[in-house]
A and B are shown apart, each in its own frame.
Chain A
Amino acid sequence: DAGITQSPRHKVTETGTPVTLRCHQTENHRYMYWYRQDPGHGLRLIHYSYGVKDTDKGEVSDGYSVSRSKTEDFLLTLESATSSQTSVYFCAISKLAGGDEQYFGPGTRLTVT
């Protein structure tokens, strides 16, 4: 998984609780991305980062926030989890902009009850 780890790998939480997912890379790549994957849908971009403290929204950013204080870490926070956020979350990295090869982490399966 190209030097990318995600934690936790599995999480079950209750509606209304805050949740933070972590992505850590050892490749020193500039760009980092958070996607969600749901049955019947392709992966959809939540947020991405193009450098430390530089982030932007993707197509499904409502209800999510991100932070990147170090090159190697990209955090995804669900401020108040809802059942619609039950999904598998993937982090990805790339050396150059979005047209470049993206390498994906192993994923985090989140269940909101």
Chain B
Amino acid sequence: KNQVEQSPQSLIILEGKNCTLQCNYTVSPFSNLRWYKQDTGRGPVSLTIMTFSENTKSNGRYTATLDADTKQSSLHITASQLSDSASYICVVSGVGDSSYKLIFGSGTRLLVRP
């Protein structure tokens, strides 16, 4: 069964610190992997999209990595800010008939404290 597992479920860090969120998936065949940020009460907003041939992609203080062999991805947040408090969702897109259907993780809820 195609699945996307994220860890930890929740995380609290102090402002200015770095953190890393994890995503493991079993989706196959695989097209791309995305990370979304979802603020409370808002829709998800894309941070990065990586195809199977990409190992890393950055968007400002957000850096995503992908290991297609082990089916793992991580999202690293550098020098966290209070505005980084949100849920971070890993999403994997399959290929072919499944390409219309994205598989969403349940998210990691990040709280950045002053």
Interface residues of A (CB under 8 A from B): 1, 4, 40-45, 48, 50, 56, 58-59, 90, 92, 97-99, 101-107
Contact = CB atoms under 8 A, between A and B. Distances in A.
A104 B101 contact: no
Contacts of A98: 93, 99-102
B106 interface: yes
Nearest to B49: A101
Given A41-B106, A90-B43, 10 more contacts: A42-B4, A42-B103, A43-B102, A50-B100, A56-B100, A90-B44, A99-B31, A99-B93, A101-B46, A104-B44
Interface residues of B, number: 23
Q: By DSSP majority rule, is chain A's interface helix, strand, loop, or mixed? A: loop
Given A98-B93, A99-B32, A101-B49, A107 B102 contact: no
B43 A104 contact: yes
